[in-house]
Amino acid sequence: MEPDLPRGQQARAAWRSLSPQARASAYAAARRGAAPDDLGVAWVAAGYGRLVSRRLRIVWLLAPIWLLAVAFPVGISLVLIRASRSVLDTSMAVLLVGILAGMIGLSLWARRYQRLYSCGLLGIEASQLGAAAPSPVPSAWSVAPGESEFTVPLHAQLPLTHPASTAVTDPVAAGVYEIPVRRGRIAMSLLLLIGTAALMWLVVISLWSDASRDTPVFLTVVTVAASGVTLLVVFILYAVGPAMRQSVAARFTPEGWEIPPLGIRGSWAEVRAIRVRPLATRGSMAANPRMATVRAVALIVDDPVQRVAHLSLLRRALIRSTITKFGSPATIVASPRRTLPVVEMVQLLQRYTAAPVDRA
């Protein structure tokens, strides 16, 4: 369950109550993918980051409406002045490229606050897992004009939750636990992407069949966009292929762990640490507010590259990015919607291994 974070005006007021140094340190921690040192700052950063990233996400999703709102009057104006077809098509192509550039800019802007949201949650999750919460730093909070010394500071209102009880390591008692692959969700996403690519190619074929009436600029823009979406679909199909062929994403038994889609396994004695990291701090997923609660939980083992030596060259190249980012190919996604919340996931693993939890 997501923690009780400040919302709306409360989130904005809490963020403004932080000192400039505290806000700068929160942004710096977010760039590193780490939690702020102060739990109160983490709570405020998570609430403010969620507020701004969600609002920017809404603006991003409304981009097609913005395109129509601009393209319609421009098109009508060009028709009224009897502009040539080449001028009309070039104008539409410029508008399309401008909207796409604006969407990319909004996405990059939203990622800054998305990282703030995600890394603030890291601090709260660490506290729930039993990490010692440092005492609030008085210098992190500034008094707003008009407030007296008797005003209750926002960090004193922090809804702290009691740390979860420490799991007892007993693999035999833990038994066998399997995390299923949510193939339905994956299939729906793939169908949506494939449908989008097919629709775009229908538009491209229609335009090229009457190419004499269109300018090369407009045709080129539409064709490049369709090709890009198609390549993305092919890449995703290859990447999720092993997961779609398996019904289990991860299996834990008293004897050891297993990641069936990759065909790798090992004993609990080989696990050196349980590493918790945000799943997406960069890339296209980083601007989605839903990704802030998704964590990568990695089982740190010796010789991670050797574990995937049996895979094909291309798939090893894909897995190598996971090893570089999280330190192990044995990485499980912790998500309230997909598998388990990260606190429950770590507690589950602690029932099988006494390896320390790495939350840095």
Q: Are residues 336 and 214 in the same domain?
A: no
Q: Are residues 337 and 193 in the same domain?
A: no
Contacts made by residues 284-288, CB under 8 angstroms, sequence distance 24+: 284/107, 286/111, 286/114, 286/115, 287/53, 287/56, 287/57, 287/60, 287/106, 287/107, 287/108, 287/110, 287/111, 287/114, 288/57, 288/114
| pLDDT at position 150 | 34
Residues in contact with 277: Cβ distance below 8 Å, sequence separation at least 6, in sequence order: 33, 295, 296, 298, 325, 326
Beta bridge partners of 277: 296
Q: Say which DSSP state 268 is in.
A: G
Q: Are residues 168 and 218 in the same domain?
A: no
More confident call, 126 vs 254: 254
Residue 154 within a domain:
no
Between CA 316 and CA 150 the distance in angstroms is 60
Residue 1 within a domain:
no
For residue 269, what are the domain limits? 164-174+255-360
Residue 51 within a domain:
yes
Q: Are residues 233 and 328 in the same domain?
A: no
Residue 2 within a domain:
no
At 11-44, the pLDDT tens digits run 888 888 888 888 888 888 888 777 787 888 888 8
Looking at the structure of the chain, the number of domains it has is 3
At 241-299, the pLDDT tens digits run 777 777 888 999 999 999 988 888 999 999 999 998 887 655 555 556 567 778 889 99
Residue 152 within a domain:
no
Cβ of 119: how many Cβ atoms within 10 Å?
Answer: 26
Q: Are residues 29 and 85 in the same domain?
A: yes
| pLDDT at position 190 | 83
Q: Are residues 201 and 127 in the same domain?
A: no
Between CA 6 and CA 357 the distance in angstroms is 28
Q: Are residues 170 and 186 in the same domain?
A: no
Residue 151 within a domain:
no
**Segment (H or E) for 306:** helix 304-307
Q: Are residues 231 and 343 in the same domain?
A: no
At 175-189, the pLDDT tens digits run 999 988 877 777 887
Q: Are residues 37 and 70 in the same domain?
A: yes
Residue 322 within a domain:
yes
Q: Are residues 235 and 265 in the same domain?
A: no
Between CA 228 and CA 47 the distance in angstroms is 35
Q: Are residues 274 and 230 in the same domain?
A: no
Between CA 183 and CA 14 the distance in angstroms is 41
At 212-250, the pLDDT tens digits run 555 566 677 778 888 888 898 888 888 887 777 778 889
Q: Are residues 290 and 357 in the same domain?
A: yes
> ∠142-144-149 over CA atoms, to 5°?
80
